[in-house]
Structure 1
């Protein structure tokens, strides 16, 4: 395998412009509240919701709209990792959305942009936020806490890539750097380097590598089209899917306090549509790879699985219910009806139901009804619902 050179360069923080705040969309204090008291009040949780040409910020408890910003036609949303900011994938790079959660500031789609050629994955781990540019394979790393403390861009570290591909990187707490390897013709594995750039391990046995997750004890899993790679303590282990030559895991849903990763699973490369009917359970301690078929009605897409209370997995099925999966047993332990039954999208970018979790609360989109719902995952109770004037697509929480 071709060696992956590494160049690390600290980039000085340069603000890209003043923070943009849309006054017409800012939160208005109650009429009987003193202005000084209102301005000092910290907001609670918030939820960012992308729609065609815009982004809404909702109050995480009432689901009332507190801000509405223009954006590009299709944007992806990823939590930045500080329970306040959201990274928005724009054509110029990762633009910072300040939801205002946990602060007395108004929500703002700021002018702060982490420049990237074809921005892709956003990873949060160990107090770092890691941004990957598919167009260059460059990785940008910064201390997550610096995002709120900086005027404009925080200080970043850039690790230059070699050959552009749709990839992902992660940095462990000791500075170990893991990144995918590939080019325009495909992706085939990962390389691991220490904090000084020296290669620790590599593998080219992961066709179509995609999807990364970090489990307990900083064990990292990457999905492959025929299984998965597991990295721990300087070694890479290949786990094979039960279906060969094609048994693909492409997305990992993790709890960093659980050794078990839940992944999506597809065993027919020619299957039409995006609905899936099975999940992968990877035990990173026992180094086992299991595929569990879900009950009828629990089909899902990559947007419909999240980890939540009790280290359980919560799957928003095509029957409109949240199916609670125990990763240790592989059993569905509860089912919470939330929305109407739905069909899979024609294209992955198309608006279709999604679930994200902040603490004990799940936020569920229902594009067919232009609605968003908040669900208590400990009881299954729908705590709040709102009907929007737009069709929700991607969604990201900010716990505040």
Structure 2
């Protein structure tokens, strides 16, 4: 495999703007990459819990071990699914906002955080953070309180950006809010804020990340955002920029483990390329401060839905050849492959149902829309441990095992 590398260039900028927090909010993603990876891949255990799968006009809730259909619910024609991080709820993004699906009851609840364009959901440091692309509003919910929600949502903290944009926010262990900056035509970087009574105080900012997108948190709370020319790191109160080795080197999503300093990012070099299939990954070592691009073999092609971190902090890529290819982020080498589904082609539109993979612990869940099927795969052996046929093609998928 061909490998290219570049080193980190440090940047730090301060923006002269004051940003205020709003009170408790009473109040759809618009691009291919608004899926973020979840959880710590260092936790390895047998699956328990539930898996939510969206189909056209509905959602099926499955037992995480047997994949037996526990219940089904009607909803909008197309919805997005993200685990809330509390081991119980899935956040369903609809035209009304962020709706909670209780996978334990199970029940598609009436609890909704209203949003004009519900986008990213981030789980970190005991908070579940929602971003409304239509207003630029960030809503911060305590994850433990969310797990206990019964008839009412917990009190929320909110922050509204200067302008609406397709963005993402994260709250760190010390309460720092790191959030993207942009408007309806472009996105430029991010800002870090700390809470002060009734307002947010700016710590620092960066405008060195054109097209900023996605978020992931690696070991030592190293937060990475993707840029059109590399990646942006926030750690220890400062921003630093990784320059891509290509003139256009877009990373849109960060696939992380909180026990590894190395981030795996999807990577694109041609801004005019048609379709959504990708043939390279970015490897960002947040400790060594390096950015490397690994070109994958011709038979390994994937989309934004097809990479997870799993056992031993390895990366698992569900490829169009139907196999899960195992990548060692420390070396950039493919070390194994597990045939799982039939070969498939990339989607015409990002919303179209196409194979996806999510993981928690040793178990991955793989969708096979062409066969209306969902599979459970043991990532330590490559063995398919369970499969279920649905009435319709599975599209989005989320697992609720374990709180973050």
Is TM (by shorter chain) over 0.5? yes
Answer yes or no: is 1:11 the counterpart of 2:10. Answer: no
Q: Distance in 1 between matches of 2:82 and 2:367?
A: 16
Task: For residue 225 of structure 1, report the CA deviation from its aligned partner.
Answer: 0.3
Q: Distance in 1 between matches of 2:336 and 2:393?
A: 29
CA contact (8 A) 1:129 1:142 kept: yes
TM-score (norm 2): 0.88
| 1:177 counterpart residue number | 177
Q: Distance in 2 between matches of 1:232 and 1:12?
A: 29
Q: Distance in 2 between matches of 1:330 and 1:360?
A: 21
| 1:17 counterpart residue number | none
**Structure 1: unaligned runs, 5 residues or longer:** 15-42, 101-105
| 2:90 counterpart residue number | 86
Answer yes or no: is 1:294 the counterpart of 2:296. Answer: yes
Deviations 1:59-115 (A, max 9, x none): 111111111100101000000001211000011110000110xxxxx3100000011
Q: Distance in 2 between matches of 1:12 and 1:206?
A: 29
Q: Distance in 2 between matches of 1:391 and 1:12?
A: 35
| 1:132 counterpart residue number | 131
Aligned mate of 2:260, from 252, 258, 261: 258
CA contact (8 A) 1:228 1:240 kept: yes
Aligned mate of 2:315, from 313, 316, 335: 313
Whose Rg is larger? 1
Matches within 5 A, 1:212-223: 212-223=215-226
Deviations 1:302-321 (A, max 9, x none): 00001111111110011000
Q: Distance in 1 between matches of 2:295 and 2:48?
A: 38
Aligned mate of 1:231, from 224, 230, 234: 234
| 1:281 counterpart residue number | 283
| 1:210 counterpart residue number | 213
CA contact (8 A) 2:122 2:170 kept: yes
| 2:336 counterpart residue number | 334
Task: For residue 205 of structure 1, report the CA deviation from its aligned partner.
Answer: 1.0
CA contact (8 A) 2:15 2:205 kept: no
CA contact (8 A) 1:171 1:177 kept: yes
**Mean Cα displacement is larger for which, 181-190 or 3-12?**
3-12
Instruction: Give the SS at the match of 1:378.
Output: coil
| 2:346 counterpart residue number | 344
| 1:376 counterpart residue number | 378
CA contact (8 A) 2:216 2:223 kept: yes
Bigger relative contact order, structure 1 or 2, given CA contacts below 8 A and separation 6+? 2
Instruction: Give the SS at the match of 2:174.
Output: coil
**Mean Cα displacement is larger for which, 218-227 or 152-161?**
152-161
CA contact (8 A) 2:54 2:395 kept: yes
Deviations 1:232-251 (A, max 9, x none): 1111111110101x110000
Instruction: Give the SS at the match of 1:195.
Output: strand
Q: Distance in 1 between matches of 2:354 and 2:98?
A: 23
Q: Distance in 1 between matches of 2:195 and 2:312?
A: 34
| 1:193 counterpart residue number | 193
CA contact (8 A) 1:123 1:131 kept: yes
| 1:40 counterpart residue number | none
| 1:160 counterpart residue number | 160
CA contact (8 A) 1:13 1:153 kept: no
Matches within 5 A, 1:265-276: 265-276=267-278
TM-score (norm 1): 0.89
Instruction: Give the SS at the match of 1:198.
Output: strand
Q: What is the aligned residue count?
A: 366
Task: For residue 399 of structure 1, report the CA deviation from its aligned partner.
Answer: 1.3
Q: Distance in 1 between matches of 2:271 and 2:377?
A: 34
Task: For residue 6 of structure 1, report the CA deviation from its aligned partner.
Answer: 2.3
Answer yes or no: is 1:149 the counterpart of 2:151. Answer: no
> What CA RMSD, in Å, does the superposition of the two structures yield over aligned residues?
1.5
Deviations 1:168-226 (A, max 9, x none): 01110101111100001100111111233221111111110001111111111111000
Q: Distance in 1 between matches of 2:118 and 2:162?
A: 16
Answer yes or no: is 1:65 the counterpart of 2:69. Answer: yes
Instruction: Give the SS at the match of 2:278.
Output: coil
| 1:34 counterpart residue number | none
> Cα 1:78–1:390, aligned 2, differ >3 Å: closer, same or farther?
same
Q: Distance in 1 between matches of 2:100 and 2:86?
A: 12
CA contact (8 A) 1:47 1:398 kept: yes
| 2:30 counterpart residue number | none
Instruction: Give the SS at the match of 2:77.
Output: coil
Q: Distance in 2 between matches of 1:184 and 1:4?
A: 19
